[in-house]
Amino acid sequence: MRTISENRCFGGVQGVYSHDSKVTNCEMTFGLFLPAEAEFGPVPVLWYLSGLTCTHDNAMTKAGAQAFAAEHGIALVFPDTSPRGEGVADHEDYDLGQGAGFYVNATQDPWAAHFQMWDYIAEELPRVVTAAFAIDGERQSITGHSMGGHGALTLAMGLPGRFRSVSAFAPIANPLMSDWGRKQLGAYLGSDETAWAQHDASHLMRDIGFDGEVLIDQGTSDQFLELLRPEALAGALATRRQPGTFRMQQGYDHSYFFVQSFMPDHIDFHAEALWQ
C-alpha cells in the first residue's frame, strides 16, 4: 500500500492510495474517505462505483458525497473503473478497455490477463481496505453511476448478504439489450450470451432480486436513455415486487450535477441501513 495523498475533509480524511493487485496484475489506485469517527473504531462503508471513462478521482472530487457521509459517520471507497498501465490492453473506443472495465471478470484475450474487475471489487479491494483502515466489513452498502450503477446493482444481487442496501444513479440497466453492454460483454466474456445474464441488472432483479431496499434515480433528460434502458429495470422491480424506490427526475441529465443533486438522499438511504 502506498499513500498518494491525504487531505483533511469535513473532520475526517480524504486519502488516495495505490497497491499492487494480484487480481488485475497491475497497480490499482483508489480513493477512501474516512470520517472523524474512524479515529475511535471501525465505521460502516459505502462503495461508490464510477462510470465510463472515469478513474477513482471523478466521483471523489465531483459527487459531493463526503459532507453527507461525514454527517453519518460513514466511510466512502472510490475504486478505479479498470486496470491501467503499461501492458494493460486498451481500445481506441472510450467505452471499451481502460476506463471501461464493466465490473466483470474477462475470459477473452487480450482482456483476461488484467480485466478481473468483479473479483477486484468483490474480494481483493475489500480485503485491502479492511486490513489497513478502520472499516467495518460487516456493514457495507454500494452505489454507483451509469456503468458504476450497473456494477453496484449486479454486485449487490450477485453477492447475497454482502450489502445492506444498494442504490444507483442512471445505471446501465439492461446491457443485454444495449450497445452499452453487448459490445463490452461480448468482448470481455465471449459470444455465449448465457454468460452475460449475471451482469444484467434487469435480468437479475427479475430472477433473484435484492435482499434489502433499493433506490434508483434516473433523469428524464438523460442524453443516454436509449442506452441505459431504465424501463427494463423499472419493469423488473415491479414484476418481482422488490422493496424499493425508482424515481424519474424531471429535467436532469447524465452529468455529475445530477449525481450531486440526489447524493444527500442516497447517503441518507444507506445510512439508515448501515446503522441499523
The catalytic position among 146, 165, 167, 202 is 146
Amino acid of residue 170? A
270 is catalytic: no
Residues, the chain, total? 276
How do strand 75-79 and strand 26-34 relate by DSSP bridges? antiparallel
Question: Residue 50's Cα: distance from chain center in Å?
Answer: 6
What distance in Å separates the CA atoms of residue 212 and residue 124, rounded to the nearest whole number? 24
Give the Å distances, CA to CA, from 32 to 86, 179, 261.
25, 32, 21
In what order do the strands lie in the sheet containing 26-34? Answer: 2-9, 12-21, 26-34, 75-79, 43-49, 135-144, 165-169, 213-219, 244-249
146 is catalytic: yes
What distance in Å separates the CA atoms of residue 247 and residue 33, rounded to the nearest whole number? 28
Closest by CA position to 27, among listed 67, 89, 84, 66:
84
The catalytic position among 145, 254, 266, 270 is 254
The catalytic position among 200, 203, 222, 266 is 222
Beta strands in 22-162 (DSSP E): 26-34, 43-49, 75-79, 135-144
| Other C-beta atoms lying within 10 Å of the C-beta of residue 126 | 18
Terminal alpha carbon distance of the chain: 32
Catalytic residues, which ones?
A: 146, 222, 254
